[in-house]
A and B are shown apart, each in its own frame.
Chain A
Amino acid sequence: MKHTTLNRIGFQFLALLLAFGIASLVLLAVGASPAQIYKDMFGSLGTKGKIADVLVSWAPLLLATAGLLITFAAGLWNIGVEGQITFGAIGTTLVLRLLQNSAMNAGFIIALSIFAGMLAGALWAALAGALKTFGGVNEIFGGLGLNFVATALTIYLVFGPWKRPGTGSMSGTQPFPEQFNLPLFEGLRLSPWALIVAVVGIVFVSFLLQGTYFGLRLKAVGKNFRAAYLLGIPTWQYMMFSFLLCGALSGAAGALQVTAVYHRLIPSISSGYGYLGLMVAMLVNYQAIAAIPVAFFFAALNIGSIQLPIVHKLDSSFSGVLQGLLVLFILLAEGARQRLTPKA
């Protein structure tokens, strides 16, 4: 056992070295100093405000990852997660718009709107699930299609029925009055509520996958659909349910984007957290709790990479290069380890 652990550590260390090594080569190729760049990227995160900004991205990213871990467990590649975040944001915006002039308590309206976002996300996921289960459409293609539809719908709403009075702009709907924003920590852009929702989400998923019979059976469906069916697990119901849960969690991510970050609906409301969440989920496999630091690391790369255009006049998409390389090499290393390590 000890030997295996050391072995794994060795391979993962190699993967990290390779990822950072190749990313550094990319930097050298554009004439930048990798050491300086890494220093500026991570060094910029040393303030309270910066850590808070990282957590602002971390919360929705973690929720999307949490949802994806459920569909991963069921053996599904729910690429539609982006659309589920977006549709969740639409649901939240809808409820806020409908109720913002009502006499109800603002806090209650926010809670209701987040719930609506979860419901909307689940609904969008259910569509991908239904396409998969009853239509035989692979969830990758169904999800991708639904992502486009969700974006198109957002653009329609932003330019159409929900436009700012007298304008027509991609910059989004009219911001909601301040009382409909989730309260922030003093002097920061971070809402404690966003953190709470995210942590509850990931703990829930961790418990579901590690500690329940449901999680076990879901993994059985994911590992071997046919065998699970023969063992009497209601397989398609499990798959649908995993879509619904993932959609609800992604919808919560969209709801946070509206209530805690942008305070309005914008066309790119999902901020790519769905695709990023796919990478985090791939890295942590079934280990939901591990998503907490990994998602933090990915969010930190995103926030830190803003230093690249400011300080080095380089494109900030370098963070995406590094994230992609990390996923690639860690998966590769795991594959190599399994091939190269003699079976005990």
Chain B
Amino acid sequence: MRTIVTRFAFLALALMLVISACSPAAPAATEPPAVSTAPAEPYVFGLLMVGPYNDHGYSQAHYEAGKYVEEKIGAKMVYIDKVNTADRPGTTPDQLAGDLVAQGAKLVIFSSDDMKDAATAFAKANPNIYVIMGSGDQVWKEAPNYEAIPNLSDIMGRMEYGKMIAGCAAALTTQTGQIGYLGPLINDETRRLAASAYLGAKHCWVAEGKNPADLKFKVTWVGFWFNIPGFTADPTQIVDDFFNSGYDVVMSGIDTTEAMVEAGKFAAEGKTVWAVPYDYEGACEVSPKICLGVPYFNWKPMYLEAITAASQGTFTSSFQWRGPDWSDLNNPDTTSVGFLKGEGLSAENSTKIDAFIADLAGGLNLWTGPIKLQDGSVYLADGVVATDPQVWFLPQLLEGMEGQSAAE
């Protein structure tokens, strides 16, 4: 009994000592009282990222958009990264969102698809906090699981265009006619983006006078947005396998830069390979020479709009799926998705990419029938243009693509 008492007493005592030693430092006592001339408190918003904030990929694109908003309207961002159950065991995104609210956040961005259920739960439980669901579709009236959540907005860029341009660059560059696509997990979003890359690749391949049947396009899935050792397949291994089996261009669909890193290594060994990163404007910097270009999300304008509205009390729930600014794909203030060419893209192919971009800007829609699904069934009849829900909720990969359409 003695040991119980002493051990317990001391752990408790230690805790109390620590708290009491620190609590007198409460800032309120020392701060001067607020005066009317003091600048208004900055509007605080929170950001939850699924991966590290400096991943050179998806999460960093959100982080930098947050920084942009801070600069533009003098708001203050509080954030937490690596919001996933492997990196932060025992936590849930809505719980972490609560932590950001405790830091003063009046709006919280749930930036990854992985947090969708939690974003819905959080928004409903906290009706006075605004929620932005990056890549989500809960409040889209066309979505099968539509729900009216007045304090939640879905925001997404039309990355389909970025992926088409990237796929075109890959098809123009490949010498073996084999393109590998490093897929993250399998869902509506990742299927439609892999398919868009394929459509872009096929379009430019055919435009070169080649037979579409000769273009090999294979998707291998990792199982999550990035590598979690012990839980997902290893993206490094997948990229190596691609390069070792005749694929000379690997397009990344995951949040992190393994495709770039491995392509850089293979190129340093004298192999002729290229890679197309994803998500983040600066992703080519990892291995510039073999980079064909990066399709990236530019969350800045949509975040600025939503957060400004929230700070002024004019936030309204909406589903936003915005395309590029065709007049300037890389204008940070206006475009929602961009494409930045890489050093690996030849001058000749660069010209062709420009022409392709001009075609897209002029109304070329690759999501036009005839398009068949992977199982051979007709998805879009000849001449039929896909509706937004048909693109968003693509049920399978397309005919001509190798790889799983759903988990087995």
Contacts and interface: CB of A to CB of B under 8 A. Distances in A.
Given A35-B25, A297-B11, A167 B80 contact: no
A206 B395 CA distance: 54
Q: Which of A4, A35, A172, A267 has the most CB of B within 10 A?
A: A267
Given A16-B14, A170-B228, A290 B223 contact: no
Nearest to B232: A170
A272 B15 CA distance: 23
B213 interface: no
Contact of A9 (B6, B78, B95, B408): B6
Contacts of B125: 187
Contact of A294 (B11, B86, B231, B404): B11
B81 interface: yes
Interface stretch (B99-107, B131-139, B266-274, B315-323): B99-107
A169 B187 contact: yes
B96 A306 contact: yes
Nearest to A270: B89
A285 B4 CA distance: 9
A287 B7 contact: yes
A23 to B, nearest CB: 11
A271 interface: yes
B231 A155 contact: yes
Given A171-B114, A268-B86, A290 B408 contact: no
B35 interface: no
A309 B10 contact: no
Interface in B376-399: 395
A57 B90 contact: yes
Contact of B22 (A39, A49, A159, A187): A39
Contact of B89 (A36, A169, A268, A284): A268
B406 A293 contact: no
B80 A306 contact: yes
B10 to A, nearest CB: 5
Nearest to B50: A171
A69 B9 CA distance: 20
Interface in B1-51: 1-4, 6-12, 14-15, 18-19, 21-23, 25
A138 B2 CA distance: 33
Interface residues of B, number: 59
Nearest to A302: B90
A341 interface: no
Interface in A1-34: 4-5, 8-9, 12-13, 16, 20
B75 interface: no
Interface string A279-311: 000011101011001100100101000110111
Interface in A221-269: 261-262, 266-268
Interface stretch (A40-48, A93-101, A113-121, A127-135): A40-48
A163 B406 contact: yes
A165 B407 CA distance: 9
B6 A189 contact: no
Contacts of A311: 103
Interface in B98-150: 98-100, 102-103, 114, 117, 125
B99 A306 contact: yes
A324 B6 CA distance: 20
Q: Which of B1, B79, B99, B100 has the most CB of A within 10 A?
A: B99
A107 interface: no
Interface string B223-238: 1100010111000000
Most chain B beta-carbon neighbours within 10 Å: one of A35, A38, A168: A168
A5 B2 contact: yes
Contact of B80 (A160, A270, A309): A309
Given A43-B19, A53-B95, A166 B406 contact: yes
B4 A287 contact: yes
B22 A168 contact: no
A294 B102 contact: no
Max chain B Cβ within 10 angstroms of own Cβ: one of A20, A47, A166, A169:
A169
Given A151-B230, A289-B4, A20 B406 contact: no
A13 B10 contact: yes
Given A285-B3, A293-B8, A297-B15, A166 B86 contact: no
Most buried by B among A4, A284, A300: A284
Interface centre among B2, B88, B89 (most CB of A within 10 A): B89
26 contacts: A9-B10, A12-B7, A16-B14, A42-B15, A42-B18, A42-B22, A44-B99, A47-B102, A50-B102, A56-B90, A159-B407, A167-B186, A167-B406, A170-B185, A171-B185, A172-B85, A189-B94, A270-B89, A271-B90, A273-B90, A283-B7, A290-B4, A294-B7, A310-B78, A310-B99, A330-B7
Interface of B: 1-4, 6-12, 14-15, 18-19, 21-23, 25, 78-82, 84-86, 88-92, 94-96, 98-100, 102-103, 114, 117, 125, 185-188, 221, 223-224, 228, 230-232, 395, 404, 406-408
Sorted nearest first, the 8 A-B pairs with minimum C-beta distance are A168-B407, A39-B22, A169-B185, A168-B186, A271-B90, A271-B89, A170-B224, A287-B4
